[in-house]
Amino acid sequence: MRFGKKGKLSPRYVVPYEVLQWVGKVSYELKLPSELSLVHPVFHVCMLKKCIGDPVFFLPMEGLGLDENLSDEEVPVEILDRQVKKLRTNEVASMKVIWRNHLVEGAPWEAEADMKSRYPHLFTP
């Protein structure tokens, strides 16, 4: 499961969970909350990360707005900044967007044309 941005740079870790038992040579069973009852609790070691204790690396499970498929809807909250990059023959406008359930520090740059077509309510005066 991946939360936040989609793609290869998305955060892979949500919150630290307690390890209940060692299963096999390279798997562990985790104590998952009731919201994740549809997820199998046994994970391979490559999917786990030792908890460092820095809360910046984890998103809280409550308030994520997960549906029954354990997926969430990306909703833009605010536009922070706008920039125009000049290429050889044209210009590309992009904007820094704060998404719901994301940190301000990790706000990504999105294409302005894409944002206008998908979320026109952000651009009405």
Burial class from Cβ neighbours inside 10 Å (0-12, 13-18, 19+) for residue 61 reads: middle
What CA–CA distances, in Å, run from 30 to 10, 15, 36, 79? 22, 12, 11, 38
Given a cut of 60, whether residue 119 has pLDDT beyond it is: yes
Strand order in the sheet with 91-99: 76-86, 91-99, 109-111
Given a cut of 60, whether residue 5 has pLDDT beyond it is: no
Q: Which is more confident, 95 or 56?
A: 95
What CA–CA distances, in Å, run from 54 to 15, 34, 100? 11, 24, 21
CA distance 81 to 78: 9
**Chain mean pLDDT for the chain:** 78
pLDDT of residue 18: 83
When pLDDT is cut at 50, 70 and 90, the band that residue 2 belongs to is very low
The per-residue pLDDT for range 34-89, each reduced to its tens digit, is 877 788 889 898 888 777 666 665 666 565 556 666 666 678 888 889 999 998 99
When pLDDT is cut at 50, 70 and 90, the band that residue 107 belongs to is confident
